[in-house]
Each structure stands twice: as structure tokens, then as C-alpha cells.
Structure 1
Amino acid sequence: MLAIVAAVLFFISFLINAAEITTNHVFSSGNVMLLGLVLLALHVAGIGSGWAGRTRRR
């Protein structure tokens, strides 16, 4: 799930950069890209990748 959100943030960052949209300092292209990288790193680390269900042993 976090990887999908990261991909969306990368796309938004690309649009901001390609269209040369002027934004404030919080939503600049670089900041949105860094948020995407943080989410991607969390996904690779295993956080937010899904629920680890309990297994029953008999």
C-alpha cells in the first residue's frame, strides 16, 4: 500500500516539475519526491506491506 502511495507522490512531483507549477516551499517538487522516497523505504523495510496473520499449529 505504501508503494502505491509513493508512486502517486512521484507522479505528482513529476507533474509539478514538468509543468513548472509554482508552489509554496512545503509542496515543492523536491519535498514531494522526498515524501515518496520515505514511503518507499518504509515499504521495503516491511512496514505497511500487509497484515501478518497468526498461524495455528496443531
Structure 2
Amino acid sequence: MFALVAALLFVLALVFEIAGLAVGSVVTVATLGTAGLLCVALHLMGVGAGWSVLKK
């Protein structure tokens, strides 16, 4: 799930960069890129995988 969110954030960052857009001073290409990298890191850690192995 986090990989999908990261891909969406990267696409938005690319569109913002090409169009030269920014939503205020908070949502910029850099913040979208950083949020995308955070989602990739969470995905690689296994957060939100949706299943776990229970050992007895």
C-alpha cells in the first residue's frame, strides 16, 4: 500500500515540477519527494504489508 502511495506522490511531484506549480509554501516538489521517500522506506520495512507470520 505504501508503494502505491509513494508512486502517486512521485507522480504529483513530477507534474508540479514540469508545470512549475506549488500549493502555498508547504506543499512543494521537495515535500512531495520527501513524503514519497518516506513511504518507500515504510514499504521496504514491511509496514502495512497486511499479513504477519505467527509462530507458536
Gaps of 5+ in 1: none
What TM-score does the superposition give when structure 1 sets the normalisation length? Answer: 0.83
Q: How does 1:30-45 map to 2 (within 5 A)?
A: 30-45=30-45
Q: How does 1:1-58 map to 2 (within 5 A)?
A: 1-52=1-52, 54=54
Q: Give me the identity figure in percent.
A: 32
CA deviations over 1:5-49 (Å, ceiling 9, x no partner): 000000000000011113312110100110010011000011112
* Count of aligned positions: 56
RMSD: 1.6
What TM-score does the superposition give when structure 2 sets the normalisation length? Answer: 0.85
Gaps of 5+ in 2: none
